[in-house]
């Protein structure tokens, strides 16, 4: 399954004013990187992937609309899978995107690979 083009466009609109944002196709989805750090992605499985501080992840998980991201059978610490139903409203998507962008901005910038 390809990533949701409409979701990617909605994310793009939300991060347009941010500096240091790049897009990169990864894992069947479209990731939005801030200063080289992944922040959010339109997932190839549908839905949204959001990077959060691992210490803040627990209370955000409800195992219905928000679950830990699992890749290759392994839970990815600090990454959440957010179902499309949880981001249907623009305001809800903005909360999640801001959460991911905010955390990515708190990380040291990564140098571009040559």
pLDDT of residue 27: 79
Question: For the chain, what percent of residues have pLDDT higher than 90?
Answer: 78
pLDDT band at 1; cut points 50, 70, 90: low
**pLDDT tens-digit map of 40-96:** 999 988 899 999 999 999 999 998 999 999 888 999 999 999 999 999 999 999 999
How many angstroms separate the most distant Cα atoms in the chain? 41
DSSP per position, the chain: ----HHHHHHHHHHHTTSSSEEEEEETTEEEEEETTEEEEEE-TTSSEEEE--HHHHHHH--SSSEEEEEETTEEEEEEEEE-GGGGSSHHHHHHHHHHHHHHHHHSPPPPPP-
Task: Give me Rg for the CA atoms of the chain.
Answer: 13
Report, at the CATH architecture level, how domain 5-106 is classified: Alpha-Beta Complex (3.90)
pLDDT of residue 85: 96
pLDDT band at 113; cut points 50, 70, 90: low
pLDDT band at 28; cut points 50, 70, 90: confident
**pLDDT reading at 114 higher than 60:** no
């Amino acid at each position: 399954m390809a990533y949701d083009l409409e979701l990617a466009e909605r994310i793009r609109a939300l991060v347009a004013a941010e500096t240091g944002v790049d897009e990169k196709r990864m894992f069947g989805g479209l990731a939005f990187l801030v200063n080289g750090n992944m922040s959010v992605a339109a997932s190839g499985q549908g839905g949204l992937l959001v990077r959060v501080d691992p210490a803040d992840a627990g209370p955000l998980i409800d195992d219905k609309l928000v679950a830990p991201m699992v890749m290759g059978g392994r839970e990815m610490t600090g990454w959440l899978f957010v179902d499309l139903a949880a981001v249907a409203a623009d305001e809800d998507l903005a909360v999640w995107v801001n959460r991911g962008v905010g955390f990515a901005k708190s990380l040291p910038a990564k140098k571009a690979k040559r």
